Structure 1
Amino acid sequence: MPATHHCTAWDDPATRRAWAKLVTCAFLGQLLWPAAWLALLAWYVSMSVSWTLWLFFVPLLYTFYRAFLQPAYVSWAFRTRRLLRAYPWQVFEEPRSGIGEVPGATAGDVWLSFPDPECPDETLPMILKVHVRSMWWRRRLGRGYTTAKTLQARQVWFAGDPRFAAVIAVPGPRRFHVVQQHPRNNRGVTDTRGVSPAALDRARRAGVRLPDPDSVAP
């Protein structure tokens, strides 16, 4: 794949175009969802026939939910960019995936497994927690059988470090989604034992929350 020839995923023009579309939609949503909620609320208040109010109740709740959630979409878009600027695309054909049965996963959690950069013979599962952004992926992974939907995620583009965090996408690239390693300690950060200093430095540049190097005991 041409994208794998770039030093980082961000160096690929198609990646930058896809991210520009992503962040544009995030900012438009930041404007349009609150506007839609206010418009529905004004209409709701002004209606004089009581039975018609029920027609607006569900759309009113949904637009409020999206307006409340939208700032996270903007933040998520910029977190995606930091990862894309730090790591190159890697292409995986039919990476191993499943539902549950790995540490940190509940019975319904879908996961993808990628090679450890410093121990290629070992793979590390990354869990796609339930979220509106993960639904497209969750419907296409971990089934254990082939359907028209699972074929859409047969090839996965990966930019990141499976020990920490990454952006996954389908060829194009399309369908960006940020996945992160499940924290392995009570401080909310992933265990960094055995990880090279270069890998830790790269992860920090990508925005991964890691312990301060000066505070880590040798």
Structure 2
Amino acid sequence: MTSAVHYKTAWEDPATRQAWRRTAMFRCAALLGWLLGFPAWLFVVVLTPTWLLVLWLPMLCVGIWYALLAMVAVASVRGMRRVLRVYPWQVDIAEAGRKKNGSTRFVVPDPERPEKSVSLGYGGMIGTGQHFWVRTVKSGRITTTWFAGDPRYLGVVATPGPRNLLWLAQREATDSRMSPRKRGVSPGARALARSAGARVGED
């Protein structure tokens, strides 16, 4: 069997495609679960005394927040596939560590200047503390990961296998209110990043 790192792109690896499908199914199921929770919440409210609204309203706010997080997670699945279709896996290249605010940081060498590194972050928001990557990095069970992408723009990290896929991006690579990164990036690297869905600016 061909190793995942020997393919031209990560998506060519059958195990990667299977991991992506598992991720997509899990996130869609989680979103559906949160959405189905709203009719259940309304049913409970109708059947209970009015004074219990002081309890049910905070639960509604929590449900809305987690549903929004689930929507973001589902939306990132498509971006994940775009990255995997462009870049190959690089084994044990991203160092995973914990930031002071409790979020997770992935430090990856700059593709064109390996002596320098670039950081990609995940977490730090309410509701992300129990995410797999935040928990396992905090516990010290994971220190290095697989990485596909360009850390100056966006990428996907995974545990060996690959498993536990996570899409990451620099804010300027996705936020139209910010100027996309150009300095220190070759035209070829920018073209790849554009194919993977990043904002790279005009040539």
TM over 0.5: yes
* Aligned residue in 2 for 1:28: 29
Q: Which of 162, 166, 172 is equivalent to 1:173?
A: 162
Question: In the alignment, does 2:194 pair up with 1:199?
Answer: no
Structure 1: 5+ residue stretches without partners: 101-106, 144-148, 214-218
Match of 1:159 among 124, 148, 154: 148
Query: How many residues are aligned here?
Result: 199
Q: Distance in 2 between matches of 1:32 and 1:138?
A: 22
TM-score, normalised with respect to structure 2: 0.81
Question: Would you say 1:38 and 2:72 are equivalent positions?
Answer: no
- Give the corresponding residue for 2:95: 95
| 1:120 counterpart = 2:114 | yes
Please provide the CA RMSD for this pair.
3.0
In the alignment, residue 187 of structure 2 is paired with which amino acid? P
CA deviations 1:67-103 (Å, max 9, x no partner) are: 3443322211111111111111111167264525xxx
Alpha-carbon spacing, 1:63–1:206, altered in 2? closer, same or farther (3 Å): same
Residue deviations 1:168-195 (CA, integer Å, cap 9, x gap) = 11112222222223549x9524421221
C-alpha deviation, 1:54, in angstroms: 5.8
How far apart are 1:119 and its partner, in Å?
A: 1.2
The 2-side partners of 1:172 and 1:80 are apart by 16
Contact 1:8 1:87 in 2 (8 A): yes
TM-score calculated relative to the size of structure 1: 0.76
Q: 2: CA distance between counterparts of 1:28 and 1:109?
A: 25
Letter in 1 for 2:152: R
- Distance change >3 Å, CA 9–CA 181, structure 1 → 2: same
Q: 5+ residue gaps in structure 2? A: none
More deviation in 32-41 or 187-196? Answer: 187-196
Q: Is the 8 A contact 2:23 2:164 kept in 1?
A: no
**How many percent identity over aligned positions?**
34
8 Å Cα contact 1:155/1:171 also seen in 2: no
Deviation at 1:109, TM superposition (A): 4.7
Q: Cα offset for 1:55?
A: 6.0
